[in-house]
Structures are given as structure tokens and as C-alpha cells.
Amino acid sequence: MTFTRRILPVGTALAFVLAACGGSDSDESTDTTAATDAAPATTDEVFTETSDAPVDTAPAETEPAATEPAGTEPAATPPATEPDAPATDPPATDGDIGVPAAAIEASLVEWAIEAPTEYAAGDVTFVATNNGNFPHEFVVIQGESYESLPLEAGGAVIEDELPTGALLGRTERIGGGSTAELTVTLAPGSYVLVCNLGGGDNSHAGRGQRLDITVS
């Protein structure tokens, strides 16, 4: 807020005083004129009143821009890799005859069993296929030979007279053109493969469907 106070010159004030005391008009005029001429121009004193209220000059607050923490890098994506091919072992073979130990093929025909005669000890899976016309079966018996087994007159093996544990296993009846599997554990020694169907003159074993084998 600004206030202006006007200050009259000294000469002008004196003229007013003389006029009040009864001076002549000419004299008053002369004196007034002289005083007026000699008086300096009026001046204005300017008083400026400023408000004491504080002015808020603080800068407006701004939110800092989001930044990544120093010293960190985005996680790198690992390059795609192809999985390693699983290792495969070569099929196990019989050391003497080169027959896969896990799949020994045996052919059943009238009247024979066609299969290898020498094997390595261990688990053996026979895959018996009936290539004949009549039903057949595949039986594994431990014994020195077919002739050493207890036999009927027609040549069938008397299974009830075999030593305990000598009959290692048998398949179900296999029709013509069909296949069955039999897995047995063979220790070193002698064994007989046989089809023990029929009896009397109709015994398949008696007619030749048998085979002696050796395991070492």
C-alpha cells in the first residue's frame, strides 16, 4: 500500500502568512510572485508500505520418475537348447551264438522245436510261435536230456515224477499262427524244451517235439 504527502515550499507558506497580516495587494502579489518564482517545485514524498506476509516461493512438488535400481540388469533369457538324446544300450546277446538274450525265438512245428541249443546263464525270454497246424505248448524242464526224464510209454513226460523245481515254466496252448512268451531264469546246466501235449501214441514229445539245450 502507498501513501503520498505533499510538502509546500517555505516561500508559499510565508506568503500566506503575510496576506493574513494585512499586507497590500501589490506587495502581496509581488511577494507572492517572487516567492512562487523562487520556490522550488513541489515534490512528493512517496512512502511505500510493504506487506510483512511471507511469500510462498517453494517450488511445486513433483514426483520423481521411476527408475531401475542402480547396478541391476534385466534377467537374461537362457538360450533354448535341445534335450540330449537318451543314451541307449545295445541289445544284450548270447555270447556264443549272438542271440538276443531278452527275445529267444522258438518255432513249434509238427514234430519239432526249432531254437538255439546253447545259452548264457541268466533271465531268458522265449518267444514261441506255432508255425504248425495243431495246438502246441512250450515247456522248460531242467534235466540232463529228454531221455533222462520220467517218461510214459508213448513218450510224454510224467511231470508228477519230476524233481521239485525241475519244471521251470510253460506257456498256455498256442494255436496255429499264434505266439506266446515265457521268461525263465537259467542257471548253468542242461535243460529240455518240450511240447508235452497228447498221450500214448499221440504224445507230441514222443513224436519228436523236444530239444535238449545247454546253459553256461
Question: What pLDDT digit, counting tens, does each position of 177-211 carry?
Answer: 999 999 999 999 999 999 999 999 999 999 999 99
**Contact yes or no for 14/48 (Cβ under 8 A):** no
* Residue 101 CA: distances (Å) to CA of 115, 124, 136: 13, 6, 23
| Domain assignment of residue 150, yes or no | yes
**Cβ within 8 Å of residue 4, ≥6 positions away:** 44, 45, 46, 47
| Domain assignment of residue 194, yes or no | yes
206 shares its domain with 118 = yes
Q: What is the pTM of this model?
A: 0.54
* Residue 165 CA: distances (Å) to CA of 123, 184, 214: 16, 12, 18
Q: Averaged over 84-104, what is the pLDDT?
A: 51
* Residues 4, 150: Cα–Cα separation, whole Å: 151
| Domain assignment of residue 208, yes or no | yes
Amino acid of residue 87: A
| Domain assignment of residue 30, yes or no | yes
41 shares its domain with 139 = no
Confidence of residue 80 (pLDDT cuts 50, 70, 90): low
* Residue 76 CA: distances (Å) to CA of 70, 72, 79: 17, 12, 9
44 shares its domain with 114 = no
118 shares its domain with 210 = yes
12 shares its domain with 112 = no
* Higher-scoring residue by pLDDT: 14, 214: 214
| Domain assignment of residue 99, yes or no | no
211 shares its domain with 116 = yes
| Domain assignment of residue 56, yes or no | no
* Residue 149: CATH number of its domain: 2.60.40.420
pLDDT digits (tens, 9 = 90+) for 123-150: 999 999 999 999 999 999 999 999 999 9
Range of the domain at 10: 2-48
The answer for 165, left when phi > 0, alpha when psi is -120 to 50, beta otherwise, is left
Residue environment code for 12-31, b if the CB has 16+ CB neighbours within 10 A, otherwise e: eeebeeeeeeebeeeebeeb
Confidence of residue 18 (pLDDT cuts 50, 70, 90): very low
112 shares its domain with 208 = yes
Taking Cα atoms as reference points, which of 130, 143, 215 lies closest to residue 173? 130
Question: How do beta strands 122-130 and 104-109 pair?
Answer: parallel
Q: Averaged over 3-20, what is the pLDDT?
A: 48
31 shares its domain with 133 = no
Q: How many domains does the chain have?
A: 2
117 shares its domain with 44 = no
Question: How do beta strands 43-48 and 2-7 pair?
Answer: antiparallel
210 shares its domain with 108 = yes
**Contact yes or no for 145/190 (Cβ under 8 A):** yes
| Domain assignment of residue 97, yes or no | no
| Domain assignment of residue 57, yes or no | no
Number of H helices, E strands in the chain: 2, 11
110 shares its domain with 210 = yes
